[in-house]
Each structure stands twice: as structure tokens, then as C-alpha cells.
Structure 1
Amino acid sequence: MILDELVRATRDNMLKRQLDVSLSDLKAKAGQMPVQINFPFEEALHQPKISVIAEIKQASPSKGQIIPVNQFDYMSIARQYEAARVDLVSVLTEETYFKGSLDILKSVVKSIDNPVLRKDFTIDPYMIYEAKVAGTSAVLLIVAILDDVQLSQYLHLADQLGLSAIVEAHTASEIKRAIAAKARIIGINNRNLKDFTVDFKNTARLRALIPEDVSTVSESGIQTREDVALLEAIGVNGILVGEAFMKAKDKIDMFKILTGGNDD
């Protein structure tokens, strides 16, 4: 199962990082940082038009190397996103399969004004403190890899640190668990993380299960203006787009295509 391998790799890499920076050290650093009580990531999702979360990643388990290593200029990509006036930015930090890193995340956060999501397989409070110290505005919590106690605890910790959390679900039962945990943002993943197949219609099936006061983000498989229009029609607040942006030579133009030229 791919998801099990991702979690195992995430834990192994996290344990290596803990040899250099302890949890107590991270907590001390986080305690010295201001808490963003206005939750800018959530504010960006509360607007009339659909919000765009543009992703920075160079590889994935399903696609392999999306961008050649020698062409992965993540700083340039971040600047292009800012120039395109995307609403939010997501940075993959998983090291083994997505070839991301905390260093990439920290550099992006420092270089742009957009709220930034640390996208990773969060399996321990340590990773939430890492995200805070890196200066991010949000973390990803995947329902499929957390039990109900962890989900509630991690949401509470993120809240205490002034971080938003996208609680990601793929099924109706996972949506119910996210709501029970009091998630303020629910991400509907159109990709099944167990086999990495993509079903774009998954968002349409699950959107109706989410209360109107909870922001909804559609993730994976979004490629065209027509895709976005369908999501707008069912009241999705935001879209998370990775591969389409990564493969686009002109990311500003791709943003205009997806949003129908609406860059206001």
C-alpha cells in the first residue's frame, strides 16, 4: 500500500531530523514566534471567488520526477506564483517520494507574502512545531493516517500555534470524522492515496456533506478552466493545483486559464 510506505518514510526522515533538533528546542523556538490570530490562510479562502492554492513540488509517487532536478528552481516558481497573484502557496516537504524539504519551505516562506501551507504527511506534533518555526500559515492533516484522538489533538495544537489546518478526506466516512474533529477547512482529495488513482468527481460527491461554515478545498486532478468552473458551481472555496502548474512553462498564464482570466 503506497500510503503505508509514505508514512514509514515520513517517520524515518522525521526521526533523523530529531537527532539534530529536539522537540524541546522546537517548542522553545515556536514560543518565541508571534501567533497569527487572524489565520491568514483561512481569510484567503473566505472570498467571493474561488481561491487558488498553487503547489511547489518536483516529484510524486504517481508521476515520478515531474521537473528535472537541474530545472527545479523553486525560488523562481514562488516568484512566478506571487506575480500571478495566486491566493495561497503549498510546498511539499516530504523528502523520499516528493523530494521536498524544510529548507525549500523556509526559503519560499521568506521570499513571498502569500500564506504558505506545509504539505506533508503529518504524523507527529513535532512536524507541526517544525511548520510553525518555518514560518508557515497552515499544515495538512490527513484523516486516513490519523486516529480521532490524534486528529483532534493536532487540530488543537495547530490552533494554539496560530496555524490553520487543511483536514484532508477522500471518503464520506473521513468527511464525517473531519467534521467531528471540528475542522474549519476540509480538503477533498480526488486522489486515492492507497493506489493513487484520481477521480475528479469525488469532490462533487462529497461536497454536500460539508457544512457551509466549513471551507472546502478540492485537491488533485484539476487541469482545465472547465474543471474549475464545475467546482465553482458546487460551492468549493478553494482548489489546490500542483501538476498543472508544475508542467506549465508560463505559470501566470496557467493561473489566468484556470480562473477564466479573473486575477482581481
Structure 2
Amino acid sequence: MLANLMGGALADAEARSLSRPLSAVEAAALDRSPALDALAALAPADRIKIIAEIKRSSPSRGSLAAITDPAALAVSYETGGASAISVLTEGRKFHGTLDDLEQVRAAVALPVLRKDFIGTPYQVFEARAAGADLVLLIVAALDQGTLQSLQNLVRELGMTALVETHSADEVSRALDIGASLVGVNARNLSTFELDQNLFGTLADSIPSGVVRIAESAVKTAADVAHYRAAGADVVLVGEALVTSDPIRTLSEFLAV
């Protein structure tokens, strides 16, 4: 599944580059106002922080929500106390677009994450050109050299990489490239099975000074409490927010 998602995202980026070449995207990225400080927004605090996700669909669950106005949803997230907004821009399975990200960036004052299957500099420049402050890098999808070079480019553009892991080896690889935000995804991207206890088994291998982010398998406040007790500084939540009253749900989750 991960290979298919990555291959599709790279093919779509290549198609976009035919009408908008790298030089144009790079110029647009460099013309943007400086990225917001995501590390400050997500720094460990006395209570859990939440990255609230705009997510229409997923390969595992199918359609979740129409989300005809991503900017309005992002404003609800900001009102509800989210610390950052994640925008899925992958089109084939998640039905997201870069336009969604641009709309969200224009509507909120929070850091915005481009959540996609990133494997080329073109996609990183696209993220900054659309106003992203953070970019997702998935360790399992990238060789170490590519992971390091993309991390370097993200930093050169003033953004922050959320480096996603699924195993102790991947956490080690994330730390080797100097990741300051390390996510542990409970969803196996090959089988799409969930293991909510995976974060707890890996958290101790993420040193202090690195923000620890728990991803996936968050449906209730009890799930948030589970991750907080295991050492999470931040949780990333999508499905539970797009299928409920987001402000009420955020209030419940932040009360943990």
C-alpha cells in the first residue's frame, strides 16, 4: 500500500511539473512569507497538544467527510484549541489538493503541515509555495540519503519536517538526520493494521529535546490519555474530528 501511495504521489507531482516547472515552483516558494515556527507551537507543555487534520477519505476507511470548505474547518480547529493544522494533499486515495492547503494557510494563524507522500525536492518546493510550514517525511518510504537531503531542503526553506516512523530502526534513522519532530504512526502503512501500543514501545528511544508525536488510532479522549501517559507531547487527529463536532471533540481531547 505504501509503495502504491508513494508511486501515485510521485507520478502526480511529475504530471504537475509539466505545466508548472520546478523553476516556477521554486520561485513561488522563495517568494512566500517566512514559515511559522512549528517547533515553538508544538513544544512540550503541561497538557497535550493536537495537530488537527483535514481529511476527506482514506484507503482504510473510504469516504469520511465531504469538506467542501477546508478553510472553515481549519478555523474551527483553531477556535477549538489545535496547535497546528494538517492538510492531506494526496489526491488519489485521500481526495486532497494543494489548493486545500492554500485555503487553510490563508484562513488561520497556526502552522500548517503538508501531509502527503513526499519523495522529491519538487514536492517540498510545492509545499512552501502553497504556504506549508511543515512537511511530512515518511522514513519507510525513503532511503537514508533521500531522507537526509529532503530534510536539509525543508530546513533551508525555513520549514520543519515531521519525520514519521513505525519501528525502532526507523526512529534511529529519523534521529540520524537530526529530526526535531518524530511521529510514531500506529497504522502499518503496508497492511494498514493499527497498533495503539506501538508509540509506547518506541517513545523512550526518542530523546528529550525531540517532540514526540503519536499518530493514528485516536477516536476518544481515552485514546488521547493513553498516548499522553505513554509520553506523547502531541497527537495527530483526523477521522475523529472530521466525523464529529470538531470544537467539542477538541475540547474533550485537550481536557486530558
* TM-score normalised over the length of structure 1: 0.93
Q: CA RMSD in A?
A: 1.3
Q: Indicate which of 257, 260, 264 corresponds to 2:252.
A: 257
SS class of match (1:53): strand
Are the equivalent residues in 2 in contact too, given 1:216–1:237 (CA < 8 A)?
yes
* 2:43 pairs with 1:46: yes
Structure-1 separation of matches of 2:179 and 2:59: 27
Question: Is the 8 Å Cα contact of residues 57 and 93 (structure 2) preserved in structure 1?
Answer: yes
Matched, 1:90 2:86: yes
Corresponding residue number in structure 1 for 2:198: 202
Count, aligned residues: 255
Deviation readout 1:153-199 (Å, 9 max, x if unpaired)? 11111111000010000011111111111111100000000011111
SS at match of 2:205: coil
The 8 Å contact of residues 115 and 136 in structure 2, kept in 1 or not, is answered as: yes
1:176 partnered with 2:175:
no
- For 1:26-45, list aligned pairs within 5 A: 26-36=25-35, 40-45=37-42
- 1:256 deviates by 1.0
8 Å Cα contact 2:144-2:173 kept in structure 1: yes
Moved segments of 4+, more than 6 Å: none
1:61 to 59, 62, 69: 59
Alpha-carbon displacement from aligned partner over 1:133-155 (angstroms, at most 9, x marks no partner) = 11111000000111111111111
How far apart, CA to CA, are the structure 2 residues paired with 1:84 and 1:31?
Answer: 32
Where do residues 179-258 of structure 1 align in structure 2 (5 Å cutoff)?
A: 179-248=175-244, 250-258=245-253
Measured in 1, the distance between the counterparts of 2:27 and 2:56 equals: 32
Deviation string 1:61-80 (CA, Å, 9 cap, x unpaired) is 0001112x4x5432321121
C-alpha deviation, 1:34, in angstroms: 3.8
Instruction: Give 1:54's aligned amino acid.
Output: A
2:76 matched to 1:80?
yes
Long gaps (5+) in structure 2: none
CA contact (8 A) 1:58 1:72 kept: no
Q: Is this contact kept in 1: 2:162–2:183, CA < 8 A?
A: yes
For 1:256 and 1:173, the matched residues in 2 are separated by 35
Contact 1:117 1:139 in 2 (8 A): yes
Partner Cα distance (1:66, 1:32) in 2: 35
CA deviations over 1:174-228 (Å, ceiling 9, x no partner): 1111111111110000000001111111100110111111111000001121221
- Matching residue of 1:123: 119
Aligned AA (2:50) = V
- Give the fraction of aligned pairs with identical amino acids, expressed as a percent: 37
Shift of 1:35: 3.4
Structure 1 letter corresponding to 2:116: D
The amino acid of 1:170's aligned partner reads: H
Query: 1:110 aligned to 2:106?
Result: yes
C-alpha distance in structure 2 between counterparts of 1:167 and 1:23, whole Å = 24
SS in 2 for 1:256: helix
TM-score, normalization: structure 2? 0.96
1:161-172 → structure 2 map (5 Å cutoff): 161-172=157-168
Change (3 A) 1:162 1:242: same
Distance 1:22 1:141 in 2: 22
Distance 1:73 1:31, change over 3 A: closer
Aligned partner letter, 1:255: L
- Which one is further off, 46-55 or 130-139? 46-55
Deviation at 1:8, TM superposition (A): 1.4
Q: Which moved more, 1:218-227 or 1:41-50?
A: 41-50
CA-to-aligned-CA distance 1:4-63 (integer Å, 9 cap, x gap):
110111012111110111111111222223434xx5211111141211000001001000
Q: Mind listing any 5+ residue stretches in structure 1 that lack a counterpart?
A: none
Q: Distance in 2 between matches of 1:251 and 1:35?
A: 29
Q: Does 1:15 align with 2:11?
A: no
